[in-house]
Structure 1
Amino acid sequence: MRKSFDDIILLFPNTICIEELEKIPATQPFSNDVVEFLNALSQELSKDPKIRNYPDVATFAFFCRKANILQIKKRYVSEETIRLGRGIVFHVTPSNVPVNFAYSLLCGILSGNVNIVRVPSKDFEQVTIICNAITRIASNTVYQNCANRIVIVKYDRNSSATSLFSSFCDVRVIWGGDETIAQIRKSSIPARSFDVTFADRYSLCIINADQYIKEQNHEAVALGFYNDTYLFDQNACTSPHLVVWLGTKEIVYKAKKVFWNKLHNIVKQKYGPIQPIIVVDKLTALYNQAVNSDGVHKTTSNDNLLWLVDIDILSPQIEDFRCSSGYFSEYHANSLLEVATIINRKYQTLAYYGFNKMELSNFVKNNNLPGIDRIVPIGRTTDFSVIWDGFDLIRTLTRCCNIIAK
């Protein structure tokens, strides 16, 4: 009998028995009961009036729709390949993105696994809304099989619960910074188990000024950029910190002025007051960047909502100079080749405006980029996909059974 811990808060279900969890068999991915469960969850969340205040929950509900899940299923189901879930997946989710736990759970159950999900210890209303919706639909016996595959817990980082859940999981999924991953890896996992880690990453944005200046709705582009950055206080790994402009000097100057003015107006309307500690952080970040880099110039601003730092040199160390809540370095490049020189394995998302798919594809292939796992239009950096950080989560969380005919 394994040790139990009183410091674990069970958000779903009310009680758990580890021995019973271990008896639940893995299933094939995209089973009908899972698809129906997620669709019911989508409908239940959509009925909740609270999600009007939480667009991230509304987006998750939309993602869970049966039509969307079946569309994703088409990429994976093949009569020639037998896939089964790996068993028990232990998810450790990040503290700064409230709904991340739900997407991680979704991948786990779609893959045919039993899932133990640790949510942030900080209270988030989004977590409560989703857990309550799961509880409500789990009361219907039709969805009991799926509900039995879900455990959602909360506990302090000093708890021994991580070691407990790690000791019997088949896959451990860790969303967090490098330090968090190193700390969790101190808890051993079984010999055949493995970790899927989502570490510290850096993201950037490229804008074709010649195309942007022709844009009919500049505010829509700025709003998309606001959603990419300010919604998570620029703390999400997908949030751009560097903006690279391409085009002639005169056009870039005009485009910058329009873009940043539109963004600043949106921030004033939507973003809460900047805390004094954040202002100090921005000032410290600027001093650090100026001391350790050449050609750094802060653009004049009327308040602390938006800090812009013009840089004359695109240094490989640019990823070290960042801050939260509206702190952006910007650079005028002659071509995308300049951007390629700074890309390393830490780069995750490239947001873009004014480039076509062929240009972006050639940028990646011709330069054999060691980093950048996602290239998305401005406004879609936070869109979830079952392929994340270069991992195909459905395939990673399942195993193949190979049958060789006689």
Structure 2
Amino acid sequence: MKDETIIRLAGGWKGSEIVGRTLLEESVLCFLEDLSREIRSNPMTRNREDCAAFAFWCRRKHLESWKEALNDRESRLGWGMIFHIAPSNIPTLFAYSMVFGMLAGNGNVIRISSRVMEDSLPLCQMIEQVMQQKRYQDIYENTLLFTCERGDGCIETYTNLCDGRIIWGGDKAIEELRKIPVRPGVTELEFADRYSIAVIDTEWMKQRSEEELQQLSYQFYNDTFAMDQNACSSPRLIVWKGEDRKCFETWWEQCMETAKRYELSPWKVSRKYEEVCLNIMETDQIEKVRFYDNRIYVADLQECPRNPEQYDGRFGCFYQCIIQNLEELMPSLNRKIQTIEYAGVSPKELQDRIVEFGAKGGDRIVPLGQALSLDYMWDGINLIEHLSRVICTVERRGD
């Protein structure tokens, strides 16, 4: 199949039908291990934090650890060809999506946004280089990474051919892509705008040593600044369990020191300032805004908000509120709330409160520092199982 309107970035799929394979196939695990090694050794990618993080994540040892958690793995097959539409805010997310499709026994056609093509290109080149090895010819022929204009006709063409579709993007982008429906019976996943928070216990925080605070602030930096807070799992609202203003100040001062490594352009500063000013004008819940050397803005909220997602923050803009117990948090966990990071509170207690309350949000509960750790469970969905089907057999029963 020829399509002159696309720019091919990696892979050699030419439009032929792709059959489903078994889960976590040996050839796929070998390919990903080789890819991980190449990324870590190649000068184009080894010094890029986002590429290095992907390389560490797709190591064979890490991916094999999922085997026991995948139900009916031996009786599952991939659907065939999965069409992935990657987001425009995270340059490497296309690669993670590709891995999930591969592990689930599928061929993968992936559209990368032209807005992040330049940042995505080094990783695409590594994928192409490893795929070109003779032993990975089958993977090469069942994979295509490309970019095209947003309204290009190839998106409809590939949608009509696919056995499954994954859309990563904002609400508006998903609404637009829904106008190109998949065929009846085709599996589909949509990952729209989500919002994440962190819950920190002040008594626990006060007992941390200076060295521990430095490490925690570094982990928090990786969860937030490393992605300009663009990732849906990057916390924007900090919920303090227990009231201790001195503890808050100590924490943010330490975070400011850690954030000095952040590349803070004038454009980012102006956008950050504009967003917090707009929120001040649009709500009466902001009591005070604290500025930490222009690196970090922190807005104090009067109470834990019912709709936290209205308080958007990027480039080091955070909102904070106080609760006395975890029950006070539950009304805030609407469907938009994805990840809850915790420090000093019990994750089991958080889980129990969510279940008891019947909250619609709070799909992930992870330690501080692991907000960006993508897992096969995402937004409450087992991605590998969803991208495959069970071959079910029923024994003949006697009359």
Aligned with 2:53 (options 45, 50, 59): 59
Deviation of 1:68 (Å): 1.6
Identify the residue that residue 303 of structure 2 maps to in structure 1.
Answer: 313
Aligned with 2:36 (options 31, 42, 49): 42
Q: RMSD of the TM alignment (CA)?
A: 1.8
Deviation of 1:126 (Å): 5.1
Question: Would you say the 8 A contact 2:89–2:116 is kept in 1?
Answer: no
Where 1:301 maps in the other structure, the secondary structure is strand
Deviation of 1:34 (Å): 1.2
Identify the residue that residue 17 of structure 1 maps to in structure 2.
Answer: 14
Q: Distance in 2 between matches of 1:57 and 1:35?
A: 18
Residue pairs, 1:191-230, within 5 angstroms: 191-216=184-209, 217-230=212-225
Where 1:330 maps in the other structure, the secondary structure is strand
Q: Distance in 2 between matches of 1:356 and 1:12?
A: 44
Deviation of 1:172 (Å): 0.7
Identify the residue that residue 134 of structure 2 maps to in structure 1.
Answer: 141
Matched, 1:386 2:376: yes
- Over residues 126-181 of structure 1, what are the superposed CA-to-partner deviations in whole Å (9 max), with x where a residue is unaligned? 52232222222223211112222211011111211211111111111000001111
Gaps of 5+ in 1: none
Residue pairs, 1:3-152, within 5 angstroms: 4-13=2-11, 16-18=13-15, 20=16, 22=17, 24-76=18-70, 78=72, 82-124=75-117, 127-152=120-145
Q: Which runs of 4+ in 1 moved over 6 A?
A: none
CA shift in 2, pair 1:373/1:130, >3 Å: same
Q: Distance in 2 between matches of 1:41 and 1:52?
A: 12
Residue pairs, 1:173-322, within 5 angstroms: 173-216=166-209, 217-247=212-242, 249=243, 252-268=244-260, 270-276=261-267, 278-301=268-291, 303-322=293-312
CA shift in 2, pair 1:255/1:87, >3 Å: same
Deviation of 1:123 (Å): 4.3
Q: Distance in 1 between matches of 2:166 and 2:292?
A: 43
Deviation of 1:25 (Å): 1.6
CA shift in 2, pair 1:77/1:368, >3 Å: closer
Q: Distance in 1 between matches of 2:14 and 2:46?
A: 36
Q: Distance in 1 between matches of 2:314 and 2:109?
A: 31
CA shift in 2, pair 1:372/1:126, >3 Å: same
Identify the residue that residue 363 of structure 1 maps to in structure 2.
Answer: 353
Identify the residue that residue 339 of structure 1 maps to in structure 2.
Answer: 329
- Over residues 356-400 of structure 1, what are the superposed CA-to-partner deviations in whole Å (9 max), with x where a residue is unaligned? 333222222222221111111111100110111111011100011
The amino acid of 1:281's aligned partner reads: R
Matched, 1:168 2:165: no
The amino acid of 1:17's aligned partner reads: K
Q: Distance in 1 between matches of 2:148 and 2:223?
A: 29
Q: Which moved more, 1:363-372 or 1:44-53?
A: 44-53
Deviation of 1:26 (Å): 0.9
Q: Distance in 1 between matches of 2:173 and 2:156?
A: 14
The amino acid of 1:91's aligned partner reads: H
Q: Distance in 2 between matches of 1:78 and 1:295?
A: 50
Deviation of 1:314 (Å): 2.2
Deviation of 1:12 (Å): 1.4
TM-score by length of 1: 0.92
Q: Which moved more, 1:84-93 or 1:285-294?
A: 285-294
Deviation of 1:238 (Å): 0.8
Percent identity between matched residues is 31
CA shift in 2, pair 1:123/1:245, >3 Å: closer
Q: Distance in 2 between matches of 1:321 and 1:70?
A: 39
Q: Distance in 2 between matches of 1:56 and 1:73?
A: 25
Q: Distance in 1 between matches of 2:32 and 2:270?
A: 44
